[in-house]
Amino acid sequence: MSGPDISAVQVRELRERTGAGMMDCRKALLATGGDVPAAIEKLRMDGQAKAVKKAGRAAADGTVTVAENATAMALVELNCETDFVSRGADFQAFAAAVANAALQHRPADAARLAACTVDGQTVEDRRKAMVAKVGENITLRRFEVVDRAGAAMAHYIHAGNRIGVVVALDKGDAELGRDIAMHVAASRPQFLRPDDIPEPVRESERRVLMAQAADSGKPPEIVAKMVEGRLRKFLGEVSLLGQPFVKDPDQTVEKVLQTRGGSVARFVRFEVGEGIEK
């Protein structure tokens, strides 16, 4: 017994409504006797299965994107497996929708963001549909919502949407905020100021420096001074205010802020895939 006669029009309609591949659409229509609504349901069910199968694959590529309103900005990292998918219009649109959902709903974590609704679907359902469509694992890795402080906010997206920064200023204008955001993108500070660096981080670095200086042959009191000097340098290197400003390395960021009458309340920096083992 031959199967139902599936027309190219039906395949095209199903493809436009689901985003699934042409062969997947034809198979779903054959399996459901040409019933388009039933084929949509089948593709969704198959998509959920595909999403489960692909969930274990490393998603270390992707994009960062920003959504903003008058009072806050949301920075989101959405991951996939390849640069090809990350640059696709559908993936970028999904990332933008997720960022808007984060800004609107302000959930406590990524799991709660996945349950938020976007255009009548939960973020998680849209993620699974994207997995079925592109054939790659897709993960919503992290997000931050940064509230406006006393003055301007700014963001900066760099390197093909692979690095994203949001900065909130206590004092200063949008131009200063963008300069600071560009600096954060380039220089990767881990903390705002040296005083923000936790004591365990300081002690760990001090131990490393002591071990490095132990073979210098110098008296203990000289070694101690060497270590403290190198520790101060380290604290400056990993804190925003202590770093040389990228647009004028003769000045620290702190000095630039003072000169331009600004101060930073908070910054967030995401880089796609950082810390993910490929």
Strands (E), 89-152: 117-118, 121-122, 139-147
For residue 138, give the CATH number of its domain: 3.30.479.20
Q: For residues 155 and 165, is the Cβ–Cβ distance under 8 A?
A: yes
**Largest Cα span, the chain:** 94
pLDDT of residue 51: 54
Structural domain contains residue 41? yes
Q: CA 30 to CA 21: how far, in whole Å?
A: 14
Spatial separation of the C-alpha atoms in residues 41 and 26, rounded to whole Å? 14
Q: Domain range holding 203?
A: 194-255
The CA distance from 176 to 154, in Å, is 9
What global pTM score does this model have?
Answer: 0.76
- Averages of pLDDT over runs of 10 residues in the chain (278 residues) are 70 76 85 87 67 59 96 96 93 96 95 91 92 89 94 92 96 97 96 92 88 81 88 91 95 97 97 79
Is residue 163, in this structure, part of any structural domain at all? no
Residue 1 in any domain: the answer is no
Give the whole-angstrom CA distance, residue 144 versus residue 98: 12
Q: Which of 88, 121, 147 is the last residue of a domain?
A: 147
Q: Is residue 133 located within the same domain as residue 62?
A: yes
E strand or H helix that includes residue 270 = strand 263-271
CATH of the domain at 14: 1.10.8.10
pLDDT at 1: 36
67 and 48 inside one domain: no
Residues 142 and 62 in one domain: yes
Looking at residue 213, its pLDDT comes to: 83
> What is the rounded CA–CA span in Å between residue 276 and residue 46?
28
For 18, 89, 92, 134, 141, the CA distances from 84, given in Å and listed in that order, are 20, 11, 11, 10, 19
d(CA 153, CA 74) in angstroms, rounded, equals: 11
Which amino acid makes up residue 103?
L
Residues 127 and 66 occupy one common structural domain = yes
Judge whether 154 lies within some domain. Answer: no
Written as six digits, the tokens of 175 are 């131009």
The answer to whether 129 touches 141, Cβ cutoff 8 Å, is no
Residues 50 and 61 in one domain: no
| pLDDT at residue 20, rounded to an integer | 73
In this predicted structure, what is the pLDDT of residue 2? 47
Give the sign of the dihedral formed by CA 183, CA 184, CA 190, CA 192. positive
Check the CA dihedral 59-162-276-192 and report its sign.
negative
**Are residues 64 and 38 part of one domain?**
no
Considering the domain architecture, whether residues 124 and 72 belong to the same structural domain is answered as: yes
Is 2 part of any domain? no
Residues 47 and 129 in one domain: no
- Report pLDDT for 79: 94
Element (H, E) at 248: strand 248-252
Which amino acid type is present at position 116?
A: C
Structural domain contains residue 167? no
Q: Looking at the domain assignment, is residue 127 inside a domain?
A: yes
Does residue 155 sit within a domain?
A: no
67 shares a domain with 16: no
Whether residue 92 is found in the same domain as residue 124 = yes
Examine the domain organization and report whether 89 and 69 are in the same domain: yes
pLDDT at 5: 77
Indicate the number of domains in the chain.
3
Residues 120 and 41 in one domain: no
Side chain identity at 121, as an amino acid letter?
Q
Three-state secondary structure call for residue 124: helix
